[in-house]
Amino acid sequence: MRTDLAVRSVPVFYSDAYVLAEHAFDTTRKARWVAQSLRDRPIAGIALETPTPLTEADVLACHDPEYVAAVRTGEPGSLASSNGFAWDGGLWDMVLASNGGAVAAALRALETGAVAGSLSSGLHHARRSTGAGFCTFNGLALAARRALDAGARSVLIVDLDAHCGGGTAQILADEPRVTTLDIAVVAFDRYRPSDPSSLDLVVDPAAYLPTLRRRLDALHSGAFDLVLYNAGMDPFERCFIGGLSGMTRDLLAERETTLFRWCRAHRLPVAFVLAGGYVNSGFTQSELVDLHRLTMSAAASRERS
Ligand SMILES: [Zn+2]
């Protein structure tokens, strides 16, 4: 009797605390849009779960005390709002919750050997001592650090947001157990990686998937205990921040399938977060939600044999 046909649900972490900040724009609101869409139109094999928020001590694993205190108290204002949006009292609980989700997804994936996710965004530009580019605390770095502390020998970060992940690179610069594969389509937050093959800036959409496949295939997959996937949808051609002409929904759907299939083929646990994606007059909220649902559909189908 085949026993490997059982369908395992993919836990996706979310709580309403993810959207507590008063400053309303995509990064502080879209987790709720996506969560609501999962309630209205469930994706088979995806199950929402509430994460445990991080503590201040957890955040200090990757961020300086002065910066962490500024995010908690709002003072000094320039540091508290260095993420790029106005500080308010809800920000602290929001980022403890959303980064708690990123950490929870990483630990769950590591524990089960399967897939987990979080509807977190606003992660990869955050530095050790400052926010940047709508990112407050770096959930990718925090999740990688916690996974290593929990016993992972090595972690692969795949960052497919439109922008480069300069914050993650800075925070983890001295961590040899983390490997990064960062494929961006715009140069914002570009950095100089110690391994040049870990960062690509792709400006031709026809080269995007071939670059991803080539970089994945060049990795020694057996070297990793966990993949952290920053699943930005801002490369989409009609996204006004990050969008690259020719980057279609179909192409992004293929990207998601490619990544999760690669992880499955190599039996690698993977934890995903949402990353970028910004609506404007030519790109609606429901279209953005639909793009982020592609990640979850691909994640759920990976778990089906
Ligand atoms: Zn981005």
Mean pLDDT score of the chain:
94
Rounded distance from Cα 146 to ligand 1 centre (Å): 24
Q: Is residue 43 part of a domain?
A: yes
Residue 183 sits at φ, ψ, to 5 deg, of: -115, 110
Residue 38: C-alpha distances to residues 41, 120, 229, 300 (Å): 5, 15, 20, 13
What is the pLDDT, as a whole number, of residue 2?
39
Domain-located, residue 4: no
> Does 305 have pLDDT greater than 60?
no
Q: Give me ligand 1 centre to Cα 305, in Å.
A: 33
Between 122 and 107, where is the model more confident? 107
Residue 3 has pLDDT above 60, yes or no: no
Q: What is the pLDDT of residues 209-251, one digit of tens each?
A: 999 999 999 998 778 999 999 999 999 999 999 999 999 999 9
% of the chain residues with pLDDT over 70: 97
Q: How much is the pLDDT for 60?
A: 98
Would you place residue 5 in the very low, low, confident or very high pLDDT band (cuts 50, 70, 90)?
very low
Which residues are in the CB-under-5-Å shell of ion ligand 1?
Answer: 161-163, 232, 234, 242, 276
* CATH number reported for the structural domain that contains residue 231 in this entry: 3.40.800.20
Query: What pLDDT sits at residue 6?
Result: 55
- 190 C-alpha vs ligand 1 centroid, how far in Å? 12
Band the pLDDT of 148: cuts 50, 70, 90.
very high
Q: How many CA atoms lie within 13 A of 73 on its CB side?
A: 9
Q: Is the peptide bond before 76 cis (omega within 30 degrees of 0)?
A: yes
Distance 6 CA to ligand 1 centre (A): 36
Q: Residue range 267-292: average pLDDT? A: 94
% pLDDT > 90, the chain:
88
Q: Is residue 5 part of a domain?
A: no
Mean predicted confidence (pLDDT) in 135-139: 97
On the question of pLDDT at 4 being above 50, the answer is no
Asked if the structure places residue 107 within a domain, the reply is yes
E strands, the chain, where? 10-13, 46-49, 115-118, 155-159, 178-184, 199-201, 226-230, 270-273
Q: What DSSP letter does each residue of 253-298 carry, written as one string?
A: HHHHHHHHHHHHHTT--EEEE------BTTB-HHHHHHHHHHHHHH
Q: What is the pLDDT of residues 52-95, one digit of tens each?
A: 999 999 999 999 999 999 999 999 999 999 999 899 999 999 99
- Beta strands (DSSP E) in 50-88 are none
pLDDT tens digits, 31-41: 999 999 999 99
Cα 28 to ligand 1 centre (Å): 14
Q: Render pLDDT for 181-210 as a digit per residue (tens, 0 to 9).
A: 999 999 999 999 989 999 999 999 999 999
pLDDT at residue 25 is higher than 90:
no
> Looking at this protein, which amino acid is placed at residue 65?
P
pLDDT, average across residues 2-12: 69
Distance 134 CA to ligand 1 centre (A): 9
Residue 222 confidence (pLDDT): 79
Q: What is the pLDDT of residue 169?
A: 97
Would residue 3 count as lying in a domain? no
CB 199 within 8 A of CB 191: yes
Q: CA-CA distance, 81 to 79, in Å (whole number)?
A: 5
**Residue 260: inside a domain:** yes
Confidence band, pLDDT 50/70/90 cuts, at residue 128: very high
Nearest C-alpha neighbor of 71 from the set 52, 53, 85, 50: 85
Structural domain includes residue 2 = no
Range of the domain at 186: 10-302
Total domains in the chain come to: 1
